[in-house]
Amino acid sequence: MELIDKMFSGDQIALARLITILENQSQSVPEIMKAIYPHIGNAYLLGITGPPGGGKSTLVDELTSIIRRKGLTVGIVAVDPTSPFSGGALLGDRVRMQKHYLDDGVFIRSMATRGSFGGLTNAAKCVIRLLDAFGKDIIIVETVGVGQTELDIIKAVDTVLVVLVPEAGDTIQTMKAGLMEIADIFVVNKADREGAKQMAGELRTMLNDSQKQTYWQVPVMETQANNGIGIDELYAEIEHHRDVLLQTGNLSVRRRRQRESELAEIVERRIKDKIVERIRKEGKFSVLVKKIADGEIDPYSASNEIFSDKEVLRDCFL
């Protein structure tokens, strides 16, 4: 594919076009992924998640400045939700990253979740790979984290930052359990606000009670992203986490898990597509669907029938 060659030669227009192709989940996705896969694995992947309005994009902007000062290049993938009613989206992350518009060491791409229920979509994962292959040193992925669907960011990046803010009525107790578990580093942003110290304190207490890994104690950082306060310290912690992952061999464990879930998802999706296709056609599947609809059999027993029928299995999986 000509676009791929151009992309490898550093052409940003080609890179952007390829992203669009991945984003549209068009038929050439496998071809692109095959071509770029030998070139991935060099970038460090940083995920930033948390509730909307917490200052994630502002933090990305500040972190990017630090990374650029160190002479490294940055790719940013900012995912925001698609409106379930219209299918449209208002993507407002880039507007916080204006400092970097003319820096060709920074590539920013806004993505909507489209058909997905939120979080890190399959398309976004493909785009991370592409930016990696393009040669970006650090890839920052911003997603909105409010519920369970967003937690898959942990399966796709090396370090996860969870950004929280002290808001009235928002206590650690009401925080989504999942967000608690996925953080490698907690950021209490808007530390200029009342309640920030208290929130950070509560978090630390809670983390002390439930240390999840022996090799890493999750730190709680206080920042004021819009004033650039606490960002150097935050970046130092990110580097520290990366170093610990490297030294303990856990970076390769994480990367292996990323590949595992990537493969599992691709296989799952293909099988699912085939099953849906079969169900819609006439045949054993549709007979079962009719039986379920008529109340003759429940879906669990029906699935047992499918799994015990070699012919159906072959039809679905081969």
Partner 1 sequence: MGNNKKIRVLVVSDSPGHATGYYVVGKGLREAGIEVILGGFQIPPQIVESAVQEDVDFIGYRIMDGAPEILVPRLVELLKERSIRDIQIIVGGIIPPPIVPTLKGIGIEGIFTPGTKISDIVDYVRSHFDAGT
Ligand X SMILES: Nc1nc2c(ncn2[C@@H]2O[C@H](COP(=O)(O)OP(=O)(O)O)[C@@H](O)[C@H]2O)c(=O)[nH]1
Give the shortest CB-234-to-partner 1 separation in angstroms.
Answer: 24
Residue nearest to Mg ion (CB): 57
Residues in region 85-104 near partner 1 by CB under 8 A: 85-92, 94-95, 98, 101-102, 104
Residues in region 225-244 near ligand X by CB under 6 A: 225-226
Of 12, 74, 22, the closest CA to residue 46 belongs to: 74
| Binding track, positions 50-89, relative to partner 1; x by CB under 8 A | --------------------------------xx-xxxxx
Number of residues that bind partner 1 (CB under 8 A): 32
Give the shortest CB-202-to-ligand X separation in angstroms.
Answer: 19
Q: Is 125 a binder of partner 1 (CB under 8 A)? A: no
Q: What does the alpha-carbon distance between residue 93 and residue 80 come to, in Å, rounded to a whole number? A: 8
Number of residues that bind ligand X (CB under 6 A): 16
Q: What does the alpha-carbon distance between residue 143 and residue 64 come to, in Å, rounded to a whole number? A: 16
Q: Is 192 a binder of ligand X (CB under 6 A)? A: yes
Q: Is 12 a binder of partner 1 (CB under 8 A)? A: yes
CA 67 from chain centre, in angstroms, equals 20
Q: Which does 289 bind (CB under 5 to 8 A by kind): Mg ion, ligand X, partner 1, none?
A: none
Q: Is 109 a binder of ligand X (CB under 6 A)? A: no
Question: Alpha carbon of 293 to those of 93, 272, 301, 313: distances in Å?
Answer: 46, 20, 13, 22
Question: Alpha carbon of 291 to those of 41, 93, 281: distances in Å?
Answer: 49, 49, 15
Q: Is 57 a binder of Mg ion (CB under 5 A)? A: yes
Which helix (H) or strand (E) is 139 found in, with range?
Answer: strand 138-144
Binding-site member from 2, 9, 27, 300 for partner 1 (CB under 8 A): 27
Residue found by looking up tokens 């030669």 in the block: 9
Q: Is 22 a binder of partner 1 (CB under 8 A)? A: no
Residue found by looking up tokens 């930033």 in the block: 48
Of 33, 191, 47, 56, the closest CA to residue 126 belongs to: 33
